[in-house]
Amino acid sequence: MTRTHAGHRSAGRAGRAASVALIAVVLPLALLVACTAAPPLPTPTPLPSSDPATDSPTPTPVPPAPPPAVLQPAGAPEPIASGLEAPWSIALLPNGGVLVSERDSGDIVEVLADGSLRVAATVPGVAAGGEGGLLGLAFLAGDGERGDQVYAYHTAASDNRVVRMPLSGAPGALALGAPEPVLTGIPRGGANHNGGRIAFGPDGLLYVTSGDAGNRDAAQDPASLSGKILRVTADGAAAPGNPFGNAVWSLGHRNPQGIAWDARGDMWAAEFGQNTFDELNRISRGGNYGWPIVEGAAGDPRFIDPVAQWSTSESSPSGLAVIGDTLFLAALRGERVWSVAPATAGGALTATPWFAGELGRIRDVTVGPDGSLWLLSNNTDGRGSPGEGDDRLYRVPLAPPG
């Protein structure tokens, strides 16, 4: 696929053996509340009987909807586009447009229907370096007062920040206007731990992942924006109901780079560990996930243990998506996609690796327009072994097991 500045390189890849440790979720004990006897209430006076002919029928209880289907890959990855340079995030638009952020160039690239690429915008002020640069993308539909917007998380000279840009044009000719700052002052790492994933949740609020930026202790400080999952309005203000009265939603994170919600509305996050365990966490309001005091499952009642964990060689997780009742997790160093299911049906979680060593590093995953899995390779980021045509956007068909 064509774009004049796309670089092509070749090298081999090595697969790795996979194993996964699943962690049981420990529910807190219910608090027992002592009650004192209250004085007896007066006997109520019955109301006159209503006319049976006009009584409303007793509503029939509606059983809860069954969970969506567990899904898994049902075929080989199919390339959609090639020639991407250090791609980081996929944004699929309601009008059929496809945007991909490129970390080092600061470009937001449109993927055309024939697989070719065009630059829709170059975000000004991107200070790329190490793991920093232009990172996550998110789309927000217009509300009558403001038109459609594309949000972007990027590293600037002095901080990490979220900006938004007005979106115009039809697929094939998408354009983005000048960026407007939404959330600034997120500490940036010198070379790594910049977080960078953004997404609008089921509540319509913007969630932002931030790394500890190399300041480990800041992850435990609720007044700091480092090592957190943040929750803000579309204009960047701390969302109502946040647990600490600021933008912080959860804390004790090292470098989360994947967030997603299941059919029940529960939030999940994928997080880089240090040397031992990478994590998949179920996120709760005000939850403390332990970093830097613990890494992985510690059984420490002060912290919330992950629901699944992997060795860092098997995972190094980035993007996360929920399709049906299955979580799909992109693994960089692990060079594979992990599926974890069931997300909502209860019971033990099963984690399965897919495409290990076949595509190289995987940076992002999302649900495609037809319900398939779309994924983004990341071999040109300085840590991979790029092959000819890297990096690529792929489509993977999905189906229930069996």
Q: How far is CA 98 from CA 171, 237, 387, in A?
A: 8, 28, 23
pLDDT surpassing 80 at residue 189? yes
Q: How far is CA 296 from CA 173, 218, 227, in A?
A: 45, 18, 15
pLDDT surpassing 70 at residue 400? yes
pLDDT surpassing 50 at residue 19? no
Averaged pLDDT for residues 192-202: 96
Identify the three-state secondary structure at position 143: coil
pLDDT at 15: 38
Query: Does the reported pTM lie above 0.75?
Result: yes
Over the stretch 87-139, which tens digit does the pLDDT of each residue have? 999 999 999 999 999 999 999 999 999 999 999 999 999 999 999 999 999 99
Q: Is residue 114 part of a domain?
A: yes
Q: Is residue 342 part of a domain?
A: yes
Q: Is residue 58 part of a domain?
A: no
Q: Domain total for the chain?
A: 1
Domain span at residue 223?
A: 79-399
Q: What share of the chain is helix, strand, coil (3-state, %, to 5)?
A: 0, 35, 60
Q: Is residue 50 part of a domain?
A: no
Eight-state DSSP code of residue 227: T
Nearest Cα residue to 196 out of 181, 213, 179: 213
CATH number where 109 lies: 2.120.10.30
Q: Are 161 and 194 a contacting pair, CB within 8 Å?
A: no
Which stretches does DSSP call E strand in 112-227? 117-122, 134-140, 149-155, 160-168, 175-176, 180-186, 198-200, 206-210
Over the stretch 49-64, which tens digit does the pLDDT of each residue have? 444 444 556 777 777 7
pLDDT at 55: 53
Q: Is residue 74 part of a domain?
A: no
Identify the three-state secondary structure at position 136: strand
Over the stretch 384-398, which tens digit does the pLDDT of each residue have? 999 999 999 999 999
The sign of the CA dihedral 220, 291, 251, 188 is: positive
Q: Is residue 62 part of a domain?
A: no
Eight-state DSSP code of residue 288: B
For the record, the structure tokens of 107 come out as 């470009």
pLDDT at 57: 65
b/e burial code for range 287-308 (CB count within 10 A of at least 16 → b): bbbbbbebbbbeeeeebbbbbb
**CA 359/CA 18 separation, integer angstroms:** 16
pLDDT surpassing 90 at residue 287? yes
- Under 8 Å CB-to-CB from 152, ≥6 apart: which residues? 101, 108, 123, 134, 135, 136, 137, 138, 162, 163, 164, 165, 179, 198
**CA 398/CA 321 separation, integer angstroms:** 13
pLDDT surpassing 80 at residue 24? no
**CA 314/CA 335 separation, integer angstroms:** 8
Q: How would you classify the pairing of strands 107-111 and 21-22?
A: unpaired
pLDDT at 370: 96
Q: Is residue 28 part of a domain?
A: no
**CA 174/CA 230 separation, integer angstroms:** 29
Q: Is residue 200 part of a domain?
A: yes
